[in-house]
Structure 1
Amino acid sequence: MKIKGYFLNLSEVAQMSNFEQYSGALFDLHGVIADTSKYHLQAWHQLATELGVEWTSTLAQSVVGMSRSDAVTAILHAGNLERQYSVQQQTALGDHKNEMYLKLIAHMSPADILPGVIDFLNDLQQHHFGIVLASASVNAPLEIQRMALESYFPLIVDPATLAHNKPAPDIYQQAAAMLNRSPQQCLGFEDSQTGLAALNAAGVISIGIGEEAEIATAQVKLPNTSALSLANIAQMIG
């Protein structure tokens, strides 16, 4: 691990900030591992347009990090259309959006991995952190495969098994349980208000990546994925 030109081992980092208590790393996917949020937003935008719902910045911000069904509900609510669609029809709308999304990511590859992510994942593995992907997207396993990241993410939470998705804490509680760790022993990585709300509610150390306004509720704030390192995080927690 390198910081300010020096190499640190994990025991030294632990002395800096009692960092040794953390041994799990729980990741969102979109905007944290890969820049695919734009494809999700493009597909949701297209669905809203088809429904005659005005696509605003507020609506776009609200659907980031949401499950498919919750995002459909948000779009219908924005257009006062909730009562016009049955549960089955809303599911069909979500499936239609997913079809559009899958077409957009058909050529996804390791080139879509954000800067610094591979180095950070290697850093985590070298220091024996358990790693879990905790994305609200049911497409997450496919995207991980297309980016050739399976060796880093053998554990992926299935959002279909959850009673409630983000911003509820369920997904991160389950991710921690998959590692046989408590949420308080884990670091969580998110780029949206919805995801950070889930981390904070679960009791996971929340690490926000991105613009200050979007990650204001994070306990640790990083401007971009290039800033990801255990040394940086240990110093900021300490």
Structure 2
Amino acid sequence: MRRGICCTWSSDRRSRCFIESSGAGLGSGLRAGENTHSTASAPAPDRNPNPAPIPIPLMSSPKFSAVIFDMDGVIIDSEPRHERAFLDVFEQMGYGQTHGIQFEQYLGRSDRAVWIDFIAQHNPKWTLEELTAWKQNHLIEILRREQPIFDGLPELVAKVATRYRTAVASGSVHPVIDEVLAMKHLRQFFPVVVSAQDVAQGKPAPDIFLRAAALIGVAPETCCVIEDSAAGVTAARAAGMTAIAITNTLPAGKLTHAHHVVRTYEEIESLLL
């Protein structure tokens, strides 16, 4: 299945940004690459009237300033573990077979979105905050035990961080993000971390990516986002950013609105480096 602003910077890239939530979501940025058309008296007789589109290399446009990584499904194989944590809590609540949650509908979205819908259906005795903490604790236990960082991800991040400014923008809460970035010494590569807790609207709204760009100090259109979910790709595009989708969670056919769809971290490296 898966942040105004005070930022302290240091030369070793280990500084932490603390973000204060703001109001409504921000609008999308400008899109590049619109075609212009010129007129001609007649087409050449041997010209194909319906030519196949020519792929445009990612780096044919001005070089990106920053790369923003989603976490769940990109850095760590946590989507199925999120589901397991929810199911554990549902079972303990007595809703093991009747919870009514279709997890595929929440890929890339926050836990809060799941619990709001669950509460609307069942009106349980627990508060939203209690349910969120309950599931969060279950998830952290699973992640600590299994540490399912994707093979090849640490190497990619280390290389990308030498050329671009980097950030994490995740639908998870800060305690979960902190647990994940403590694995494989990943925290050193991400001076900016934005959580769904830090913005008014989660994905597919663009808020989380726009906040990350603001904290990094770059224009949204100079950012490239690495995502695994349809909601995340939608959010990145709404922010005016370039979206690379990796098929860790969904098949390529459900990620066609991304600018690039890849299967491996090596493909991402070839696009960016």
TM-score grouping bracket, smaller chain normalisation:
0.7 to 0.9
In the alignment of these two chains, the number of paired residues is 210
- Residues 26 and 134 of structure 1 are in contact (CA less than 8 Å); yes or no, is this contact kept in structure 2? yes
Instruction: Compute the TM-score of the two structures, normalised by the length of structure 2.
Output: 0.69
Q: C-alpha offsets along residues 98-125 of structure 1, whole Å, 9 cap, x if unaligned?
A: 121122122254xx32132223223322
Alpha-carbon distance between aligned partners in 2 of 1:47 and 1:216, rounded to the nearest angstrom: 34
Aligned positions of 1:91-130 closer than 5 A: 91-109=129-147, 112-127=148-163, 129-130=164-165
- Residues 236 and 242 of structure 2 are in contact (CA less than 8 Å); yes or no, is this contact kept in structure 1? yes
Q: 1:166 to 1:53 in 2, by over 3 A?
A: farther
Aligned-residue offset at 1:224: 3.1
**For structure 1, which runs of at least 5 residues remain unmatched after alignment?**
1-14
- Name whichever structure is richer in helix by fraction: 1
Q: Equivalent of 1:39, from 56, 74, 81?
A: 81
Aligned-residue offset at 1:38: 1.7
Name the counterpart of 1:134: 169
The structure 1 segments of at least 4 consecutive aligned residues displaced by more than 4 Å after TM superposition are 52-56
Name the counterpart of 2:206: 169
Q: 1:53 to 1:184 in 2, by over 3 A?
A: farther
Name the counterpart of 2:95: 51
Partner-residue secondary structure (3-state), 1:134 = strand
Instruction: Compute the TM-score of the two structures, normalised by the length of structure 1.
Output: 0.78
Bigger Rg over Cα: 2
- Residues 191 and 209 of structure 1 are in contact (CA less than 8 Å); yes or no, is this contact kept in structure 2? yes
Q: Equivalent of 1:208, from 238, 241, 245?
A: 245
CA RMSD of aligned residues (A): 2.5
Alpha-carbon distance between aligned partners in 1 of 2:221 and 2:111, rounded to the nearest angstrom: 28
Name the counterpart of 1:198: 235
AA aligned to 1:180 is G
AA aligned to 1:225 is Y
**For structure 2, which runs of at least 5 residues remain unmatched after alignment?**
1-56
- Residues 203 and 231 of structure 2 are in contact (CA less than 8 Å); yes or no, is this contact kept in structure 1? yes
Q: What is the identity percentage for the equivalent residue pairs of Structure 1 and Structure 2?
A: 22
